[in-house]
Amino acid sequence: MISEKVKQSFIRIVGSENYDDSKAGRLVYSYDATPQFQSLPDAVIAPRNTKEVSEIVKICNEHRIPLVPRGSGTNLCAGTCPIEGGVVLVFKHMNKILEIDEENLTVTVQPGVITQDLIKAVEEKGLFYPPDPSSMKISTIGGNINENSGGLRGLKYGVTRDYVMALEVVLANGDIIRTGGKLAKDVAGYDLTRLFVGSEGTLGVITEATLKLIPMPETKKTMLALYQDLEAAARSVSKIIANKIIPTTLEFLDQPTLAVVEDYARIGLPTNVKAVLLIEQDGPYEVVERDMKKMAEICQEEQAVSVQIARSEAEADALRTARRSALSALARLKPTTILEDATVPRSEIAKMVKAINEIAEKYNVKICTFGHAGDGNLHPTCPTDVRDREEIERVEKAFEEIFAKAIELGGTITGEHGVGAMKAPYLEWKLGKEGIEAMKAIKQALDPNGIMNPGKIFAKSERKRVVVTR
Amino acid sequence: MISEKVKQSFIRIVGSENYDDSKAGRLVYSYDATPQFQSLPDAVIAPRNTKEVSEIVKICNEHRIPLVPRGSGTNLCAGTCPIEGGVVLVFKHMNKILEIDEENLTVTVQPGVITQDLIKAVEEKGLFYPPDPSSMKISTIGGNINENSGGLRGLKYGVTRDYVMALEVVLANGDIIRTGGKLAKDVAGYDLTRLFVGSEGTLGVITEATLKLIPMPETKKTMLALYQDLEAAARSVSKIIANKIIPTTLEFLDQPTLAVVEDYARIGLPTNVKAVLLIEQDGPYEVVERDMKKMAEICQEEQAVSVQIARSEAEADALRTARRSALSALARLKPTTILEDATVPRSEIAKMVKAINEIAEKYNVKICTFGHAGDGNLHPTCPTDVRDREEIERVEKAFEEIFAKAIELGGTITGEHGVGAMKAPYLEWKLGKEGIEAMKAIKQALDPNGIMNPGKIFAKSERKRVVVTR
């Protein structure tokens, strides 16, 4: 609860037009893209600059008011659901690209910049920001940094973490710190930059970031390989890497996903095969040509029934866009879509896909699987309905088993979506009790009053998912 | 001090042959490669496995005995000087390459593996571990991880941090945790892996690491560009990057360094020019050819007096080896060699080189400068003599001014050597009071009794370097 006095303090900082505690305003920010989680915040505040953020944080810290920084809320781990109420911070005013530095190959941004706008802005200078989460049309950079977002180009280019060079962060006590710099090398103390990346707003509020850019690849080619055998597709993935080729993108879609995506995108995707690999390579012309040829050979050796290279950039773009739309397409099937991101070492992809199918059968639930095969990062996705409690229970058991299998294969419960409130109950499976304790100690050290996005990463009690309502 | 009873506990764990508290044994581990720092440990212990490390740490924690994990002691920040005594942990028994995983492109090692041995072992499989600190012939991987070592290939390939995927770490309470995995993507909780990388043994003892490998580049070419004008050399660096070429290596040596290196290596380096750039590119044949041609043109446009491409791999290797020997060569000049690594955004290289020369003149000290120009990571180096207190005072003032200038230009006090005991007094210049407080809070959270490599990173009192003796 926010008292009238505290409310007036907030309004003095940001102006009444940037403080919203109306029922309608709170409702909008009571959920994010994650199904089954909803909880009303007490207020939604839109600061205009870092100083205002610092002042807001100080008040929250003094009065033990939970604080949830939020971008576009596209995360899939209930990372921005205000499950303990409090203040949701939105960055609609802090959405500027502050600088593109062509000499140092960096871009400096405020957290509210839309990912795709950033990518387009640097492309105009011949520069490239590789992280491309599927949500990039609406996600913000601040959200990407807090979740350490991945994407389709992760295999070759890494994830958001690999591109964050410097941060401005407001700590729980209101201190404003700057980490890193426009520096290729910097070992002055602990790597706070990367500690904040992926910390899901639980350690501080990111108010500015300097990101690394690289030269735009000269050219790019896209290929589709079709399979009647899931494991043959998985073997192709392993064999490509074992042949020392690292493609930009190596995506996998199973038959149920293909059918749904084609129905949505209508670009002529085959729907009568068991699996598809979408493969891209970029770089210098000669290298791309050579790699595509070699990869096509490998796919054929591994019994691909067809290997087609996109004839035009338009065709390639249609394929990429179709793949990016997988979640939206799947979401049309049923009222609720649960999309997970169990991740395994890439050598274990075939085993994982097989296990997912067996688990789906065991619990009699529909699971469509697609994802970043080259990263071992799969997205088993279940179209379901939260109102059907009996089915939801089976779905949850199935996913629990999927997480356990991923861990068993040397993997993790989340490759790129984050832990949030949703996967907190499973984190101990990956980290062990001691690992969780170490992380909690860091959280406690930087946020002793626990105001920063409480209820995320660390589970309160047992291992069940719950629908949270207040 | 270690009591007889505690000594016997240590011996019960590791055996008497792995516990050394002889004067001679302690003397060997009383210093590292950093001048002006020496302090005797109370004992030197060589554990044989992680369990033994954990048991040793528990005893140290119980009895508040400082613990200094040490590789080959090649660091240049007094990072492994046991300035508060206690136990030095050496890893001569924990020096195995445990696995090279060709499917997942990883290598798993114990901390005592020599960097170059690792590089050679993976090269035999056609794989590449890029971080190549100049000390790699004798440095250990454990040391590299603790210091987040850089090297000559950092411009294109990044530093040690960019290759550490998973760690096994013994925490101050004796807990053994595992971070990360053979996973291209993993966002299960805070990024402890990268928090430990570069933490200089102050947060835990690293007992195992899984490192990322990449395919071996097809080919490599090496070029020397000679200049009669320092700033022209610096401008060439900026212009190469601005032309969207990221070479593997872009090293700078000034005339005094050149003269010394040639005198040491005798490979026919020119000694009558003001500066040299050593440029390397690797990758597919066509790309390397094209990039080398373009870079040669850029150097010529920027008034290089000569641009020569190495005619053979032997010649190229001689050039690289000569560059790597810069510290050894400079160390022959005077009894003491102080080598720093002030780092700036690469756009500021010309300003920084100019400032270093002006500062050297102001304090009447000899400073030779070489380093990783492409990274903005310079190594101003002063041949001096610790016994000449008057000169040492001028040297320290000069370096203080160099650090201040680096910060002023948006840089850092250390690009790849670490903070250790040596640069602790300057850390606040880079991080500010609030930044230091945040790091201290993390240190306190993970090591409440302060046993892990005490006296490093965080300064005890004022800003002066001191010769430490016990």
**pLDDT single digits (tens) A97-109:** 999 999 999 999 9
State the architecture of B4-90 in CATH terms.
2-Layer Sandwich (3.30)
DSSP characters over A189-207? SS-HHHHHTTSTTSS-EEE
Which is it for the CA torsion B137, B138, B142, B144, positive or negative? negative
Residue A298: CA count within 13 A, CB half-sphere: 23
Pairing of strands B87-90, B164-170: unpaired
Calpha distance B144→B430 (Å, rounded): 22
Q: Are B139 and B240 in contact (CB under 8 A)?
A: no
- Which residues 387-426 of A are in CB contact (within 8 Å) with B? 410-419, 423
Distance linking the first and last C-alpha atoms of chain A: 12
- CB–CB contacts below 8 A, A to B: 266
Q: Is A191 on the interface with B (CB under 8 A)?
A: yes
Length of chain B, in residues: 470
Question: Is B104 in contact with A181 (Cβ distance < 8 A)?
Answer: no
Q: Per DSSP, which regions of A267-328 are E strands?
A: 275-283, 306-309
Q: Are B104 and A343 in contact (CB under 8 A)?
A: no
Calpha distance B2→B10 (Å, rounded): 10
Question: Is B415 in contact with A186 (Cβ distance < 8 A)?
Answer: yes
User: Helix or strand or coil: residue A209?
Assistant: strand
Are A219-323 and A333-417 the same fold in CATH?
Answer: yes
Of A157, A178, A202, A181, the C-alpha closest to A451 is: A202
Query: Containing H/E element for B361?
Result: helix B349-362
Interhelix angle A230-242/A349-362, nearest 10 degrees: 160
Q: Are B387 and B357 in contact (CB under 8 A)?
A: no
Q: Is A299 on the interface with B (CB under 8 A)?
A: no
Of B128, B163, B30, B79, the C-alpha closest to B341 is: B79
How sure is the predictor about A461, in pLDDT bands with cuts at 50, 70 and 90?
Answer: low
Calpha distance A127→A108 (Å, rounded): 14
* A324 pLDDT above the threshold of 90: no
Residue A191: CA count within 13 A, CB half-sphere: 32
> Residues with Cβ < 8 Å from B365, sequence gap 6 or more?
B382, B384, B391, B394, B395, B398
Question: Which of B148, B416, B439 is closest, CB to CB, to A192?
Answer: B439
Residue B411: the pLDDT is 97
Calpha distance A240→A254 (Å, rounded): 19
CATH of domain B333-446: 3.30.70.2740
Of A133, A38, A111, A113, the C-alpha closest to A80 is: A38
Residue A91: the pLDDT is 98
Contacts of B199 in chain A (CB under 8 A): 190
Residue B461: the pLDDT is 59
Q: Please give, rounded to a whole number of angstroms, the shortest distance from the CA of A218 to a CA of chain B.
A: 10
pLDDT tens across A17-46, in order?
999 999 999 999 999 999 999 999 999 999
Complex ipTM > 0.90: yes
Give the helix, strand, coil percentages of chain A, each rounded to 5: 40, 20, 40
Q: Are B181 and B113 in contact (CB under 8 A)?
A: no
Give the mean model confidence (pLDDT) for residues A299-323: 91
Q: Is A244 on the interface with B (CB under 8 A)?
A: yes
Query: Containing H/E element for B372?
Result: strand B368-372
Calpha distance A64→A451 (Å, rounded): 6
Contacts of B178 in chain A (CB under 8 A): 432, 435
Interhelix angle B230-242/B349-362, nearest 10 degrees: 160
B358: how many CB neighbours lie within 10 A of its CB? 12
Fold of B219-324: Alpha-Beta Plaits (3.30.70)
The amino acid present at B467, given as its one-letter code, is: V
Q: Is B441 on the interface with A (CB under 8 A)?
A: yes
CATH of domain A219-323: 3.30.70.2190
Q: Please give, rounded to a whole number of angstroms, the shortest distance from the CA of B17 to a CA of chain A.
A: 32
Question: Is B415 in contact with A175 (Cβ distance < 8 A)?
Answer: no
Calpha distance B274→B236 (Å, rounded): 14
> Residues with Cβ < 8 Å from A12, sequence gap 6 or more?
none
- Which residues 82-111 of A are in CB contact (within 8 Å) with B? 101-105
DSSP characters over A399-455? HHHHHHHHHHTT-BS-SSS--TTTTGGGHHHHHHHHHHHHHHHHHHHH-TT--BSTT
Calpha distance A40→B219 (Å, rounded): 59
* A470 pLDDT above the threshold of 60: no
Which is it for the CA torsion B140, B143, B145, B148, positive or negative? negative
Question: Is B187 in contact with A148 (Cβ distance < 8 A)?
Answer: yes
Is it true that domain A97-215 has CATH number 3.30.465.10?
yes
Q: Please give, rounded to a whole number of angstroms, the shortest distance from the CA of B423 to a CA of chain A.
A: 9
Contacts of B241 in chain A (CB under 8 A): 103, 105
How sure is the predictor about A465, in pLDDT bands with cuts at 50, 70 and 90?
Answer: very low
Map out the domains of chain B as residue ranges. Answer: 4-90, 97-215, 219-324, 333-446
Contacts of B197 in chain A (CB under 8 A): 191
Alpha helices in A243-312 (DSSP H): 255-265, 285-301
Residue A419: CA count within 13 A, CB half-sphere: 28
Q: Which residues pair with A169 in a beta bridge?
A: A177, A206
Structure tokens that stand for A114 in this block: 């839309």
Length of chain A, in residues: 470
Q: Is A293 on the interface with B (CB under 8 A)?
A: no
Tokens 């008040």, residue? A59
Structure tokens that stand for A311 in this block: 């004839």
Q: Which residues pair with A215 in a beta bridge?
A: A127
State the architecture of A333-417 in CATH terms.
2-Layer Sandwich (3.30)
Structure tokens that stand for B192 in this block: 């402890």
pLDDT < 50 stretches in chain B: 462-470
pLDDT tens across A213-269, in order?
999 999 999 999 999 998 899 899 989 998 989 999 999 999 999 999 999 989 888
Scored b (16 or more CB within 10 A) or e, B410-420 reads bbbbbbbbbbb
Calpha distance B251→B257 (Å, rounded): 12
Distance of alpha carbon A417 from its chain centroid, rounded? 4
Residue A231: the pLDDT is 86
Q: Is A343 on the interface with B (CB under 8 A)?
A: yes
